[in-house]
């Protein structure tokens, strides 16, 4: 299928450019945007829209080459017979000002420009030149970063006024079109820089997968993105419907959830309900998988401080509010599962705790008050929990005959009041304290046999030594 036919089919399938619309094309001078500009010019009559003009953003990152790109795009607009809207900005300076990477600053500045260009060109839509190959690269990039269904959905055919008519065409389709029409384009040498993750995927990983695993890997990955996108949309609809039985009310920036109702919802939907609630709280930062699962794992009278937001489970409710609205006296806790072997970051307290299996004879280093101890493995099972202290916590400290309240132990050990809520406790499946990090192992878990199987527990401060 020739490129023009493929693009027209994509426009109609996803209703990208309604009849009577005016569409602007974002052009960089590269092959994808050049092909897109000429294809949309060709299809105006069949598509029932008007090509309003071209839009070019000069990032000022490549000196004379960037200026040449701008001149080239102006020439293309003149050849097609449409106006062109051009802006330039020092993206490197903006990256420093905003405290983000150059790639992130460029993306933000470019999108802000396209909004302005669309208004000036009186365009209803702005077409950008993402192809099926870009979709495959995005899928892999997000997969490697640990994205869920929403992220794996990749690039959408339409996002607001932004449309992507080339999304079902490959880069090979684009190059064939340009060759057939004898059209010129500009090469951006930064696209060959494999220090940039996307370029490394494009030039190294996808060619490797194509050669060693599947010649059609780009189509496979793009199809997986489409499946993830459709399933994500369905799950989001289900989550919105179920949220009505979970969200008790929302007062300004405070949201109250029914804890029991949330636990009764299937986990994939519960995660979505929580993510949406966190996002709606004013001042909340990005809520990742670990943040959402930490909220799901809250026990009564526990709380968490997440990026920009405070979450507390009080009685039968989970209350989400901006971090600045946390009230004095509220619990400020955490609880994380620790697999054996495995490790877990306690972000709230600034600790990394790990567990592995070993033999007592190899662990003579086991100072109960240090940051590396051994406890008997018998009866502990495959998983422990690392949590903050709770009212009523008590244990038999190593070497003492009787039971002692944790509060009294911490006072005796002169642990600062400000540190007590941040001090990790390792507990077993019955919530018995196994180790008070840096203070004592519980007598109940003392290693008594030199050849016994043990669990080696280690703790270190995040960003520093233990």
Considering only CA atoms, which of 147, 123, 309 is closest in space to residue 225? 147
- Answer whether residue 398 shows pLDDT above 50: yes
- Answer whether residue 7 shows pLDDT above 90: yes
Kindly tell me the sign of the dihedral angle through the C-alpha atoms of 297, 303, 305, 308: positive
The mean pLDDT of 61-90, rounded to a whole number, is 94
Give every CB contact of residue 382 below 8 A, 6+ residues apart in sequence: 339, 340
Give the β-pairing of 394-395 and 84-88.
Answer: unpaired
The rounded mean pLDDT for the chain is 87
Residue 324, pLDDT score: 63
pLDDT in tens, 10-67: 999 999 999 999 999 999 999 999 999 999 999 998 889 999 999 999 998 888 999 9
- Answer whether residue 330 shows pLDDT above 60: no
- Answer whether residue 355 shows pLDDT above 50: yes
Residue 464, pLDDT score: 46
- Statement: 244-325 belongs to CATH 4.10.320.10: no
Q: What percent of the chain has pLDDT over 90?
A: 49
Phi/psi zone of residue 67: left (φ > 0), alpha (ψ -120 to 50 degrees), beta?
Answer: alpha
- Answer whether residue 449 shows pLDDT above 50: yes
- Statement: 3-230 belongs to CATH 3.40.50.620: yes
CB-CB contact of 69 with 79 (8 Å): no
Read off the pLDDT band of 433 (50, 70, 90).
very high
pLDDT in tens, 159-211: 999 999 999 999 999 999 999 999 999 988 888 888 888 899 999 999 999 99
- Answer whether residue 365 shows pLDDT above 50: no
Residue 358, pLDDT score: 81
The domain segmentation of the chain, as residue ranges, is 3-230, 244-325, 335-461
Read off the pLDDT band of 72 (50, 70, 90).
very high
pLDDT in tens, 200-255: 999 999 999 999 999 999 999 999 999 999 999 999 999 999 998 999 887 767 88
Beta bridge partners of 319: 256, 312
CB-CB contact of 158 with 21 (8 Å): no
Tokens of 68: 């040449």
Higher pLDDT, 420 or 451: 420
Tokens of 140: 């892999």
Residue 349, pLDDT score: 74
């Amino acid at each position: 299928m020739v490129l023009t036919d493929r693009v027209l089919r994509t426009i109609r399938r996803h209703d990208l450019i309604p009849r009577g619309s005016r569409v602007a094309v974002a052009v960089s001078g590269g092959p994808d945007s050049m092909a897109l500009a000429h294809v949309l010019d060709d299809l105006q009559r069949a598509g029932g829209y008007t090509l309003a003009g071209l839009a070019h953003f000069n990032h000022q990152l490549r000196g004379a080459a960037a200026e040449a790109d701008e001149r080239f795009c102006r020439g293309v607009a003149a050849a097609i017979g449409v106006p062109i809207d051009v802006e330039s900005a020092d993206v490197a300076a903006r990256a420093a000002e905003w405290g983000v990477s150059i790639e992130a600053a460029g993306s933000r500045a470019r999108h802000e420009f396209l909004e302005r260009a669309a208004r000036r060109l009186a365009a209803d839509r702005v077409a950008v030149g993402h192809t099926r190959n870009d979709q495959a690269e995005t899928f892999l990039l997000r997969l490697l970063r640990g994205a869920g269904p929403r992220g794996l959905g990749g690039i959408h055919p339409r996002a607001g006024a932004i449309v992507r008519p080339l999304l079902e065409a490959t880069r090979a389709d684009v190059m064939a079109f340009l060759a057939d029409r004898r059209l010129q384009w500009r090469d951006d040498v930064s696209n060959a820089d494999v220090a940039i993750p996307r370029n490394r995927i494009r030039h190294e990983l996808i060619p490797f997968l194509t050669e060693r695993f599947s010649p059609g890997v780009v189509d496979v990955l793009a199809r997986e993105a489409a499946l993830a996108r459709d399933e994500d949309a369905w799950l989001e609809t289900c989550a919105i419907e179920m949220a009505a039985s979970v969200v008790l009310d929302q007062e300004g920036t405070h949201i109250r959830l029914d804890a029991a109702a949330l636990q009764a919802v299937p986990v994939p939907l519960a995660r979505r309900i929580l993510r949406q609630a966190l996002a709606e709280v004013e001042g909340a930062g990005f809520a990742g998988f670990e943040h959402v699962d930490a909220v799901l794992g809250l026990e009564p009278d526990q709380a968490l401080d997440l990026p920009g937001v405070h979450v507390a489970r009080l009685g039968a409710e989970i209350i989400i509010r901006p971090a600045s609205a946390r009230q004095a006296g509220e619990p400020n806790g955490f609880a994380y599962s620790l697999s054996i072997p495995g490790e877990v970051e306690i972000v709230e307290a600034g600790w990394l705790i790990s567990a592995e299996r070993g033999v007592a004879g190899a662990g003579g280093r086991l100072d109960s008050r240090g940051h590396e101890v051994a406890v008997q493995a018998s009866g502990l099972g495959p998983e422990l929990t690392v949590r903050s202290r709770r009212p009523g916590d008590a244990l038999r400290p190593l070497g003492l005959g009787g039971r002692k309240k944790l509060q009294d132990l911490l006072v005796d050990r002169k642990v600062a009041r400000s540190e007590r809520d941040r001090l990790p406790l390792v507990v077993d499946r019955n919530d018995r304290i196994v180790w008070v990090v840096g203070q004592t192992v519980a007598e109940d878990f003392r290693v008594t046999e030199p050849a016994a199987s043990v669990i080696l527990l280690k703790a270190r401060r995040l960003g520093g030594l233990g």
